[in-house]
Amino acid sequence: MTRRATVHLVAARHPGDAAAVAALLDSGAVKANRIVAILGKTEGNGCVNDFTRAYAVEALCHMLAPRLGLGAAQVAERVAMVMSGGTEGGLSPHFLVFAVDEAAAPTPGGALALGTAFTADFQAEELGRMAQLRATARAVREAMAQAGIGDVADVHYVQVKCPLLTMERITAARRRGATVATEDTYHSMGLSRGASALGVALALGEVTEEALSDAVIGADWSLFSARASCSAGVELLRNEVVVMGNSTAWGGELRIAHAVMPDAIALPAVHQALRGAGLDPGGGQIGAADAARLVAVLAKAEPSSTGLIRGRRHIMWDDSDINATRHARALVGGVIAAAVGRTDIFVSGGAEHQGPDGGGPIAVIARV
């Protein structure tokens, strides 16, 4: 059987709005049992107490449950649900539905290939440490094998949803006599994302295991993956991994390409990713014909740790009213929106070890 990946982008009126995804299923555009992952941008704050992510997952699971003949909890075990909170600036809330069905034959030159995998649930003391890093690397390799991608060069984006620490989880660890990587719940988001990203980097051969330790996670920004996107949330205890690449064994009309933004205003990197997917931005924004072929844009955003962008001061880390990652999502979202002419872009904040300091990976999925 030749597999074919499909990706559908639908709008969300609020975090619990699964109606547009349900409409895809009811129309026959997507079969429920073919869905392997759903990514969503929700309009929460993207921080520890952003429950819009859990709200969206719950709504999607309850909508899918009767269509799959499963309980809602079983749906969550089967489908990777990656919700990223924060739609600052002009970013538009939306869902991306990834499914795998059949094609008549492989596409010459290759087509989008998808693989998913899950780690076991983590103990609180494993988050942000080598245990989480190694488990993520194993899951990435498993997802690659599921997708039939043998060459790491054919992987263009790895989306990971990872847990964070809450005071309840920290207290439970203390009772077991265990220590955690941090007792700052917000900082735990960054450490969890960082450990997950370095796990992707290890699996893809971007870093060596000898260079890794608990001490470098969240500290040595010279170590990173150019293809990892990791989002932390309170709504899960395991890592959920979605590998996206191209494979000559897959059919269909979709392809994916990626580039790395060296900083938050790196428009040329956005153009590079668009061209890699077969779209022509010229020197500015893609035209109407190419816009119709654009399926999805996924990117990471992170304020530079130096407090500078190309030598000029930014105040993202100094703002006590608005979280720094919220500033970064708005900034990067604006740069990308100007290039693609749309605002339903999956921009995830917190890019620890995901691209260089102050930058991040960007991927484009388009119809050939």
Residue 232 assigned to a binding site: yes
Residue 354 assigned to a binding site: yes
Catalytic pick among 161, 196, 247, 300? 161
- Does 231 qualify as catalytic in the annotation? yes
Residue 329 assigned to a binding site: yes
**CB 3 within 8 Å of CB 250:** yes
Residue 245 assigned to a binding site: no
**CB 50 within 8 Å of CB 349:** no
Q: What is the number of other CB atoms lying within 10 angstroms of the CB of residue 163?
A: 27
3-state secondary structure 7-57: EEEEECCCCCCCHHHHHHHHHCCCCHHHEEEEEEEECCCCCCCCCHHHHHH
Residue 53 assigned to a binding site: yes
Residue 356 assigned to a binding site: yes
Residue 278 assigned to a binding site: no
Q: How far is CA 271 from the centre of its chain?
A: 20
AA letter at 236: L
Instruction: Give the chain's radius of gyration (CA, Å).
Output: 19
User: What phi and psi values does residue 29 have, to the nearest 5 degrees?
Assistant: -65, -30
Listed in sequence order, the residues at least 6 apart from 249 whose beta carbon sits closer than 8 Å to its beta carbon are 2, 3, 106, 113, 148
Whole-number Å distance between alpha carbons of 153 and 340: 26
Owner of token pair 């034959």: 105
Catalytic pick among 192, 225, 231, 247? 231
**CB 26 within 8 Å of CB 64:** no
Please choose, from the candidates 86, 82, 84, 113, the residue with its C-alpha nearest in 3D space to the C-alpha of residue 100. 113
Burial of 109 from C-beta contacts in 10 A (0-12 / 13-18 / 19+): exposed
Residue 193 assigned to a binding site: yes
User: What phi and psi values does residue 114 have, to the nearest 5 degrees?
Assistant: -125, 140
Residue 311 assigned to a binding site: no
Instruction: Tell me the CB-side half-sphere exposure of residue 75, using CA atoms within 13 A.
Output: 23
* Residues tagged in the binding site annotation for Mg(2+): 302, 351, 354-356, 359
List residues with catalytic annotation.
Answer: 161, 231
Residues belonging to the binding site are 53, 84-85, 193, 231-232, 302, 329, 348-349, 351, 354-356, 359
Residue ranges of the annotated binding site for substrate are 53, 84-85, 193, 231-232, 329, 348-349
